[in-house]
Amino acid sequence: MYDCIIIGSGFAGAVAADIMAREKGKKVLVLEQRSHIGGNCYDKKDEHGILIHQYGPHIFHTFDREVYEYLSRYTDWLDYSHEVLGYIDGQYLPVPFNLNTLHMVYQEDKAGELEEKLIAAYGEGTKVPILKLRENEDSDIRDIAEFVYQNIFLKYTMKQWGKKPEEIDPAVTGRVPVLISHDNRYFTDTYQGMPKDGYTPMFEKMLSHPQIEVRTGVDAMSVLRFDDYQIYFDNQKFEGPVIYTGAIDELFGCRYGRLPYRGLDFRFEYYEQEEYQPKAVVNYTVSEDYTRITEFKKLTGQTADGTTIVKEYPYAYTGEQGQIPYYAINDPENQALYDEYNKLARNYGNLWLLGRLAEYKYYNIDAIVKRALELVRTIR
Ligand code: UDP
């Protein structure tokens, strides 16, 4: 009845389903555990009519024209350049730390001198990871690095990961490098934007092919069985491709132990006022228990009298009912555990792992779209 089964309907699953059906003419079944499609990019109107991202802010940005054009089949875009402010001792400062931030932190003369030093050391327009900046030989530059480390990275990273910046994968803090430029944008990608009508309508279109059937509210394990390196669907051997985008440890009953993830608690608040904060996202980098506040109207361009915000509280995911794993914690020990599961998965000739949870990786939207396009086009 089906040629292919896909578990999960976030970006990984939706792109996979689209390519399988539209390019390969396959009949596809998508199984989604939640009551809705779109994974963590799911958005909807709240009870006040404000379009919210149920699982935290998602901003599309890419340098990759193919990815941009692919998604543009399914949505128009609202031009949006993401800017973030750090709230530091009563002041809003542009994050990533850039030359504008420098001038807000130091006296004018000193700032001018430091700007010249930074440009001489790294070149105008470059990006320097904070952990690299801290190693500079010039004590003035190290002073800047210390300011950035203490005021932007240390507390935020402790909240987000429960560890210091130097204790986590450098690629993570490297996502937000110091910018040797006067550009306040959070991302410098060529293409940036929000789906004009929201993410959920885009996912609906991606999954609307007549050869795609989506079942929401279904635990894949209630219809699939993984046994003796064979996959069974409704108790019949299923030989077609199975693309799994969920947590890999849970696929195998966590038999080697749980892979650690960070989870997030989202607390939404509504205010009957025009605006709440100066930009869509404000990071609380030195105070508060939450990492950041997102004001949705400023992200989606919606106009409304009131405004809805969300505060994010990170925690260590334990797999308890109701928790959602958001971020893989990439370190050698966890990678070794992942490799065990991956080895097990490779015994199933028709099983493919795809996405943040299945591959235990930190994917941005564009990167997972790219990966899904590449992978699925190789599956016969
Ligand atoms: N980070 C930080 N302070 C900030 C912004 C980011 O310390 O104001 C660090 C933190 O460790 C975070 C990482 O940089 O987890 C990556 O930030 P990004 O904004 O890319 O995180 P995401 O949006 O994926 O949660």
CB of 75 sitting under 6 A from ligand 1: no
Ligand 1 geometric centre to CA of 121 (Å): 25
Strands 28-32 and 212-216: parallel
CB of 192 sitting under 6 A from ligand 1: no
| φ, ψ (nearest 5 deg) of residue 182 | -100, 25
CB of 156 sitting under 6 A from ligand 1: yes
Ligand 1 geometric centre to CA of 157 (Å): 7
* Entry pTM: 0.97
- Helix (H) or strand (E) holding 78, with range, is strand 77-79
* Closest among 13, 208, 209, 188 to 83, alpha carbons compared: 188
Predicted confidence at residue 380, as pLDDT, reads 86
CB of 153 sitting under 6 A from ligand 1: yes
* Atom 10 of ligand 1, nearest CA residue: 157
Give the whole-angstrom CA distance, residue 158 versus residue 243. Answer: 35
Atom of ligand 1 nearest to the CA of 168: 11
CB of 291 sitting under 6 A from ligand 1: no
Strand order in the sheet with 60-62: 60-62, 191-195, 77-79
pLDDT tens, position by position, 314-324: 999 999 999 99
Give the whole-angstrom CA distance, residue 69 versus residue 74. Answer: 9
* Atom 7 of ligand 1, nearest CA residue: 153
Give the whole-angstrom CA distance, residue 4 versus residue 232. Answer: 12
Give the whole-angstrom CA distance, residue 132 versus residue 126. Answer: 13
CB of 237 sitting under 6 A from ligand 1: no
CB of 172 sitting under 6 A from ligand 1: yes
- Domains, the chain, with CATH or none: 4-37+207-260+329-376 (3.40.50.720), 84-179 (no CATH), 261-316 (no CATH)
Give the whole-angstrom CA distance, residue 285 versus residue 25. Answer: 49
CB of 365 sitting under 6 A from ligand 1: no
The dihedral built from the CA positions of residue 193, 198, 201 and 204, taken in this order, carries a sign that is positive
Q: Render each residue's pLDDT in the chain as its tens digit; 380 residues.
A: 999 999 999 999 999 999 999 999 999 999 999 999 999 999 999 999 999 999 999 999 999 999 999 999 999 999 999 999 999 999 999 999 999 999 999 999 999 999 999 999 999 999 999 999 999 999 999 999 999 999 999 999 999 999 999 999 999 999 999 999 999 999 999 999 999 999 999 999 999 999 999 999 999 999 999 998 999 999 999 999 999 999 999 999 999 999 999 999 999 999 999 999 999 999 999 999 999 999 999 999 999 999 999 999 999 999 999 999 999 999 999 999 999 999 999 999 999 999 999 999 999 999 999 999 999 999 98
Q: Are the C-beta atoms of residues 258 and 333 closer than 8 Å to each other? A: no
